[in-house]
Amino acid sequence: MSKSLQKAGKIGLAICFLSLPLSSANSVKAEITTPQVYMALGDSIAAGATPYNELDAGYTDIIAAKLSEQGLLAAFSKDFAVPGFAADNILDLLDEKEVRNGIEQATLITLSAGANNVLGLVQQDPGGRTVQFNQMTANFILNQMRIQYGELLDEIQMINPTAEIYAVGYYFPYPNVLETQQQGVRKMLSLVNEIIQNEAENRDITFIDVAEQFDENGLQYVPNPTDVHPNQLGYLSMANSFFDQVTPGIQATEGDIPPNPGMSPFLEELMNESGMTMDEPDVEAGNEAVVPDEESTPEDSLQEEDTAPDEVEDFEGAALGPKPAPSLVNYSFLLG
């Protein structure tokens, strides 16, 4: 079990499925036609973190609310979507009996995991205009993430072989960064999505591409230059990417965004017991940022050659832009 979970101790995880009131290129499972028991697993994107260090209704809540409106929801829980958790932390979470019981009950599962494995490496200046990371470390972490994400999918499928699982990708979280600074981190995050897609499709799991729609309006959806979480319009875009690929006849609008559901008892107790906060990353739940070599320059940007995500090899480009002073370095924390 990860140290972050050990810190929390036995806190009595409660699945607490909440019934809501009734009111692509990859292979997609059959369209949703019957009421679903929906469980959202993952990080703070699954939990609904906002650009201003709060939790609110996110893409998982919007999906649940719209399914409920259509008479296609029996129960919903995002109790175990934990800000700051990387793929291996979520895998550790599945050791808990209550979490396994929840997965066993689910008929529909969405998973947002993997970005926290790498985004702890990204450093951003205080104004949110430049980013940099150590490419050699990123290559190693990407391979780790590939292995851990595959193990996570295997474990979920072992617990519940019949649930429909959807592996949700990520948008580009740095639209406010200078265009000349974006190339390297775009390459790294594209590899994260490719790894998620490959690992999912290798197990006959549907990959949900959210970047195509989201990134067209990235500046609108990620309004805080120093925070990489989306606003509710961004989450709405993600929910509609899910519907486009799973149930094309359903589309959500701003009016379908539900009220703030608040923090789940599990997450509140976990954060209190472990000292986690929304604006302070738990290093155990991701990766500590690595300061690039002093010799790294903007010219060391990523090359455009293809890199196979199932066996990530070294590619050039350790740093993007001038290195900020250590006291100004901000660990860019996508998922918590």
Range of the domain at 74: 3-8+25-331
State the CB neighbour count (10 A cutoff) for residue 159.
17
Longest dimension (CA), the chain: 60
Total structural domains within the chain: 1
* Domain CATH for 121: 3.40.50.1110
Q: Alpha-carbon distance 10 to 153, whole Å?
A: 25
153 and 199 in contact (C-beta within 8 Å)?
yes
Q: Higher confidence at residue 77 or residue 336?
A: 77
pLDDT grade, residue 274 (50/70/90)? confident
Inside any domain, residue 120:
yes
Flag whether pLDDT at 207 surpasses 70.
yes
Tell me the three state secondary structure of residue 153: helix
Which secondary structure element, helix H or strand E, spans residue 137, and what is its range? helix 135-159
pTM, to two decimals: 0.78
**pLDDT average, residue stretch 116-135:** 92
Inside any domain, residue 20:
no
Inside any domain, residue 150:
yes
Inside any domain, residue 157:
yes
Inside any domain, residue 63:
yes
The closest of 37, 60, 36 to 47, measured between CA atoms, is: 60
Inside any domain, residue 13:
no
Backbone angles phi, psi at 55, to 5 degrees: -110, 140
Inside any domain, residue 261:
yes
Tell me the three state secondary structure of residue 189: helix
Which secondary structure element, helix H or strand E, spans residue 330, and what is its range? strand 330-331
238 and 40 in contact (C-beta within 8 Å)?
no
pLDDT grade, residue 268 (50/70/90)? confident
Burial 163-198 (b: 16+ CB within 10 A, else e): bbbbbbbbbbbbbbbeeebbebbbbbbbbbbbbbbb
What pLDDT, on the 0 to 100 scale, is given for residue 269?
A: 83
Inside any domain, residue 265:
yes
Tokens for 17? 């499925």
What pLDDT, on the 0 to 100 scale, is given for residue 266?
A: 83
**pLDDT one-digit tens code per residue, 54-63:** 999 999 999 9
Q: Alpha-carbon distance 24 to 189, whole Å?
A: 20
Average pLDDT over all residues of the chain? 80
Tell me the three state secondary structure of residue 94: coil
169 and 196 in contact (C-beta within 8 Å)?
yes
Flag whether pLDDT at 234 surpasses 70.
yes
End-to-end CA distance of the chain: 20
**pLDDT one-digit tens code per residue, 129-159:** 999 999 999 999 999 999 999 999 999 999 9
**Please, which residues have CB within 8 angstroms of residue 316's CB and are 6 or more apart in sequence?**
135, 300, 301, 302, 303
